[in-house]
Structure 1
Amino acid sequence: MTGEHLRIEVSNLTKRFGAVTAVEDLSFTVEQGMITGFLGPNGAGKTTTMRMIIGHVAPTSGTATIGGRRYGDIPCPSATVGAVFDAAAFHPRHSARDHLLVYAAMGGYPASRVAELLGLLGLAGAADRKTRGFSTGMRQRLNLATALLGDPRVLLLDEPGNGLDPEGMSWLRSFLRHLADEGRTILISSHALGEVQQIVDDVVVIRQGRLVASGRLSELAGSAPPVLVRSPDAAVLARTLMENPPEGVAAPRVEPVQPGELRVHGLDAPQIAELAAAHRLRVHGLVTENASLEQLFLDLTTSDLTVEERGSAR
């Protein structure tokens, strides 16, 4: 499928296990060249959905396709799609090299690919150690190496940062960004929201198996993020901003934070700076407060309102 547009499309996907509905009428898209964060509380249906995408779980209804095809219809699927699930196990007597050689043989990939991936994933020094002695972080790297054996253009990663220390997370962020910049389609689930915020381009949020929100993080968070302003003229500046917004812009909401500090909603930093300069008011600092994925996640998964409903209620 080299050269095809490998978008993941989930359409009206539903999965029931007896009387339990794990996923219900779920639809979303993961675009090529993007890292999409798949978020939701434990038990929300994330892993079940990802397993349906790669054919490990049969949906009750609906479809999941990769580049317009079901996973089972893709020739040599491991060369197109790589998947990592948190519960992946290794034979305790196998070394990392043994493990990768077995999977390379199954996929028809050369042994040279194993050596390449051991180096790429930072496992060369542990290549001949038994996997039973691996830390959780090393297991995660070996999982990822296994998924990359076929050099796939699509990656589904379930909690890929589990067990990684801060240095490992920094490495993972850079590695995944490099893969996405090569044009790969990447879907990652995670509960480490602060880390995901530094990785993802798009977000899909589900709760109780149903879609709550999807799209760019900045769009889901609503209007422009607030700006924290430090000024010795804070009181006068607050009145000036509210009484003299730029043409065509609604009056901002201004909150005093502490003496000499304001939080401004509805204007961006350049607009605030220009208004302050025009009225000869001093500004000692302007900091745009980026949307918090963690707060957005909590809002979406504990509220009865969707993003659209929250926006209309403002």
Structure 2
Amino acid sequence: MTGGELRVEVRDLTKRFGDVIAVDGLGFAVEPGRITGFLGPNGAGKTTTMRMMIGHIAPTSGSVTIGGKRYHELANPSSTVGAVFDAASFHPDHSARAHLRVYAAMGGHPDERVDELLALLDLTGVAHRRTRGFSTGMRQRLNLATALLGDPRVLLLDEPTNGLDPAGTARLRSFLRDLAGEGRTVLVSSHVLGEIQQVVDDVVVIRQGRLVAAGPLAELSGPAPAILVRSPDADALAQALSRNPPAGFTPRLERVDPEQLRVWGLNAAQVADLAAAHRVRVHGLTTERPDLERLFLDLTGSAR
């Protein structure tokens, strides 16, 4: 890979705990520069898989490579991979700053990185406080700061939005997009499908430890997204769209209610331009994203 980009490859990964098969012949790839959502019902094997990626759990068979190397083969693992797990804990008598300094020293990372990350994760104001008094959201941010100490090219995040308020969740989404934009490889597991849908490029869906589907979200979710249009002149807009569509386009319409249309086959700009050309009032245009929840339920059988 060029530019420090690292691909994560999972090959025929299996983990047995006695008679229980937690992960069963799993295989997929996580690409650099993209955010991959790792999805599955509770108990599907997501956390077990992610812990095998970083050597916390030894696989029964199969392998995980990061940039072509297994985790234990990496020269400086914490500078290559940063991992956040929901159950991570801190020494209750350590402050946030002390906690980060300990881990920075263990990883051989400069001490000034601690203050950089406290500021980046909005923890400077509580850096002196003991972690025993931290809220779940504050602990999640400290988890993420710990994972980022080595400025890693690969991030593995297990349920990173747990305990975050809406503003914190929005900041995390923006932060992850920035990291992927730098060419980093980001894998995020979550059961909050609405949040995942707003940030991921690709999805990997597993059930009972087995791969169900993997690929770009837009491709797995089926047809191109629709445009939801709100207009007090919905009848006139429907006529304009049906009779005078842009050259080469044949839109399909669905009447949602007296003032809303759902339009397939055109993008939002085309709908807006056509409405303006016909002097039709439009009070709202929304591009409907692929329905990840529907995809998830269909693939995992959770709706049955």
TM bin, normalised by shorter chain, reads 0.7 to 0.9
Instruction: Write the letter of the residue equivalent to 1:203.
Output: V
Between stretches 204-213 and 257-266, larger displacement belongs to 257-266
Change (3 A) 1:233 1:94: same
CA distance in 2, matches of 1:274, 1:123: 46
Residues 80-100 of structure 1 show CA distances to partners (whole Å, capped at 9, x for unaligned) of 111110000111111111211
- For the structure 1 residues 119 and 64, does the alpha-carbon distance in structure 2 shift closer, same or farther, using more than 3 Å as the test? same
> What SS is found at the alignment partner of 2:255?
strand
Conserved? CA contact 1:39–1:191, under 8 Å: yes
Name 2:25's counterpart in structure 1.
25
Write the letter of the residue equivalent to 2:24.
E
Q: 1:94 — aligned with what?
A: 94
Contact 2:226–2:263 under 8 Å retained in 1? yes
AA partner of residue 202 (structure 2): D
Contact kept? 1:53, 1:71, Cα under 8 Å:
yes
The aligned residue for residue 126 of structure 1 is: 126
Q: Is the 8 A contact 2:203 2:215 kept in 1?
A: yes
CA distance in 2, matches of 1:291, 1:19: 38
With over 3 angstroms needed to count, the CA separation of the structure-2 counterparts of 1:69 and 1:273, relative to structure 1, is: same
Name the CA shift for 1:168/1:180 in 2 (closer, same or farther; >3 Å).
Answer: same
Counterpart in the other structure of 1:111: 111
Mapped partners of 2:214, 2:86: distance in 1: 23
Residues 132 and 304 of structure 1: CA distance in aligned 2, closer, same or farther (over 3 Å): closer
Aligned to 2:160: 160
Percent of aligned positions with the same letter in both sequences?
68
Does 2:207 align with 1:204? no
> Unmatched 5+ residue regions in structure 2?
none
Provide Cα deviations, 1:236-274, integer angstroms capped at 9, x if missing partner: 568759xx9976x8x765433223544344555577789
For 1:13 and 1:262, how far apart are their aligned partners in 2?
46
Residue 290 (str. 1) matches residue 289 (str. 2): yes
Return closer, same or farther for 1:2/1:75 CA change in 2, 3 Å cut-off: farther
Between Structure 1 and Structure 2, how many residues are aligned? Answer: 300
- Report if the CA contact (8 A) 1:155-1:187 is conserved: yes
Query: Partners of 1:45 and 1:221 in 2: how far apart?
Result: 23
Superimposed CA distance per residue, residues 71-116 of structure 1 (whole angstroms, 9 cap, x where no aligned partner) = 0111111111111100001111111112112111211222222222
Q: CA 1:288/1:15 → structure 2, altered by over 3 Å: closer, same or farther?
A: same
- Residue correspondence of structure 1 range 229-308 to structure 2 within 5 A: 229=229, 230=231, 231-233=234-236, 254-259=253-258, 261-265=260-264, 268=267, 284=282, 287-302=286-301
Q: TM-score normalized by structure 1?
A: 0.84
| Ranges in structure 1 where 5+ consecutive residues have no aligned partner | 306-314
Residues 273, 76 of structure 1: alpha-carbon distance in 2 compared, 3 angstrom cutoff: closer
RMSD: 2.9
